[in-house]
Structure 1
Amino acid sequence: MRKKFFLVAGALAACLGAPRARGWGCKGHQAVALIAEKHLTPEAQQLVETLLGANPIDPKLKRWCGNATRDLLMDAATWADDVRNERRNGPWHYIDIPRGKHKGSLEEYCGADGCVTRAIEQERAILKDQSADPLKRAEAIRYIIHFVGDMHQPLHVINNGDNGGNCVPVRYLHHEPLLNPERPEREDYSPNLHQIWDTEIVERDMEVSSPHRYADELDQKFRAESAAWEAEGVHVENWAWEVHERAESEVYDAFSTKIPIEPDVKPKGCSDNHHIGKRMLEKHLVAGEPYQLRAAKTAGRGLAEAGMRLAMILNDAAKEPRSAPETRNRASIDVGVFTAE
């Protein structure tokens, strides 16, 4: 049994060794989509149903989160992870904003291969273009659903020379961090900080809830704040900075042991950056019940925000654009009234 345990833990660690894992896991991403559904305008609902219904996901595609669901938006929520390796767009799922940075343009942190904020804006443009290929617009919806969720996972918008927390071993509740025995030279450990924020914290908070029930609970809990989020409008870069600040205070600074700001480097493995994996292991970081309770509140808020903001993006895309002649005529009328006065 001990050997089997180490093999399973090692396989998990190997999967998590690459930069960034799958933000929020299956249930978290599904909850974001279900929250968004509650706030869609009839026009946005029609747009989503038309594009996704007429351009279904390839039934031969391997779905990491299981078989397709009848809810089109919920089913689309994890598609971007299913095609991630095939399309080689892993960097679209996150942005490496270094710890200690505050506000300003994000372009310098968005590499040549892209990042989550740029990907959201690019896919928004495709979705809003009514002359674009319907298949591309359907894929844009699927990308947007997933990337808005990813961007609200704090460790997808911050880096501390640790691959977004993948190289920070932690003792999570009673689970001690174990080294991947198949590739010990990489210094990959599980559990690690990114892993627990991706799935463990949210799914433990959900307990017996389904994504549907959890979405209902979060939507109700943050109902009073959702109007303020909507009033702020769609500002993707602002959202990223907001979540970045949350990562500083609620992820890294929430430990009793101080985690210093590392050089702004992007290690290929946890043995890089002067053995960042081993150095973090030696800090004996503990994410116990107090950390879990605090993190669950932060994660729940992030999921609710992501759902509301996703709905805002889809509602905006479903608005009828003004035609050029109408705009010119209106401008002429306005000028005429102004002159008459």
Structure 2
Amino acid sequence: MKKLFFLGLCLFAARSGFAWGQKGHDVTAYIAECHLTPAAAKKIDKVLGGYSPVYFANWLDNASHTPEYAYTKTWHYLNVDEGRTLDDMPANPQGDILKAVTEIVAKLRAGGLSPEEEAFNLKMLIHLLGDMHCPMHLGRATDLGGNLRPVRFFDKETNLHSVWDTSLVESAHKWSYTEWQRQIDRLTKQEAEAVAAGTPADWVAETLEICRKVYDETPEGSRISYDYIAAAAPVIERQLLRAGHRLARLLNEIYR
């Protein structure tokens, strides 16, 4: 019976191991869309068949569960265990989010892809930049990125990963993705350039530091309520804003 229960937990963790929930990915994609150059916006519109980047913001979460794209399941995260660093943590042989984003950006920059290959890689990049900024996607392998760390969200039994993926985003503000953009995307040009600076490796390291604070401040069995949401909301806002501006920068550089 215990083995069946643990198996169920693992299966649940595998199903829920993606980031931000739909709202967070939509916000990231829409912020990026709002900061595309006219040239990039025109080219991206053609690659995506006339659809907005928001339309495909959550596409990879669904695709990763299909046999055709099952190989991308580990691309949504990069596990770093307690006491380990990004440099000494053994690499996942199936790949991780930093490796995936680095390779996708290189492919798109190089060009020469078929229309289908280009659209596929662009849709992945739109999604994975959001994942890269979700704190628990730099979580520990020992608890499957917080999926096996039980907490209570008000009176609901859940896990730390799920709380940061979805519950906190939806509880922080009851906004549509366009309202999120209007409310948090208010940087000056200089501030936006500073936020968008750096490399994917820098951004992963930054998210890892936030993840470690989340672990420290959320022991197993924590009851998460209004005070936790109030403290987490600015972190979420900042991460979504960073992801959106950084995605826009990459897309503007790729599609000059």
Gaps of 5+ in 1: 1-11, 55-70, 178-190, 260-279, 320-341
Residue number among 54, 68, 80 corresponding to 1:74 in the alignment:
54
TM-score by length of 1: 0.67
Q: How does 1:68-147 map to 2 (within 5 A)?
A: 72-86=52-66, 87-88=69-70, 89-102=72-85, 105=87, 108-147=89-128
Q: How does 1:1-341 map to 2 (within 5 A)?
A: 16-18=12-14, 21-53=17-49, 72-86=52-66, 87-88=69-70, 89-102=72-85, 105=87, 108-159=89-140, 161-175=142-156, 177=157, 191-207=158-174, 209-220=175-186, 225-230=191-196, 232-233=197-198, 235-249=199-213, 251-255=214-218, 259=219, 280=220, 284-319=221-256
Q: State the shift of 1:167 in Å.
A: 0.6
Q: Which structure would you say has the larger Rg?
A: 1
Q: 1:105 to 1:17 in 2, by over 3 A?
A: closer
Larger % of helix: which?
Answer: 2
CA shift digits 1:94-151 (9 cap, x unpaired): 001123334x537x54311110011111111221232211211111111001101001
Equivalent pair of 1:19/1:163 in contact (CA under 8 Å): no
When structure 1 is superposed on structure 2, of 135-144 and 39-48 the one drifting more is 39-48
Give the SS at the match of 1:53.
coil
Give the SS at the match of 1:170.
strand
Q: State the shift of 1:160 in Å.
A: 5.7
Equivalent pair of 1:167/1:192 in contact (CA under 8 Å): yes
Amino acid at match of 1:313: L
Equivalent pair of 1:43/1:318 in contact (CA under 8 Å): yes
Number of equivalent positions: 246
Q: Distance in 2 between matches of 1:158 and 1:120?
A: 18
- Percent identity, please: 31
TM-score by length of 2: 0.88
Hey, what does 1:336 align to over in structure 2?
A: none
Equivalent pair of 1:154/1:243 in contact (CA under 8 Å): yes
Q: 1:224 to 1:217 in 2, by over 3 A?
A: farther
Q: 1:112 to 1:13 in 2, by over 3 A?
A: closer
Gaps of 5+ in 2: 1-7
Amino acid at match of 1:37: E
Q: Distance in 2 between matches of 1:115 and 1:125?
A: 16
Once superposed, what is the RMSD of the aligned Cα atoms?
2.2
Q: Distance in 2 between matches of 1:36 and 1:240?
A: 18
Q: State the shift of 1:42 in Å.
A: 1.6
Equivalent pair of 1:20/1:156 in contact (CA under 8 Å): no
Q: State the shift of 1:13 in Å.
A: 6.8
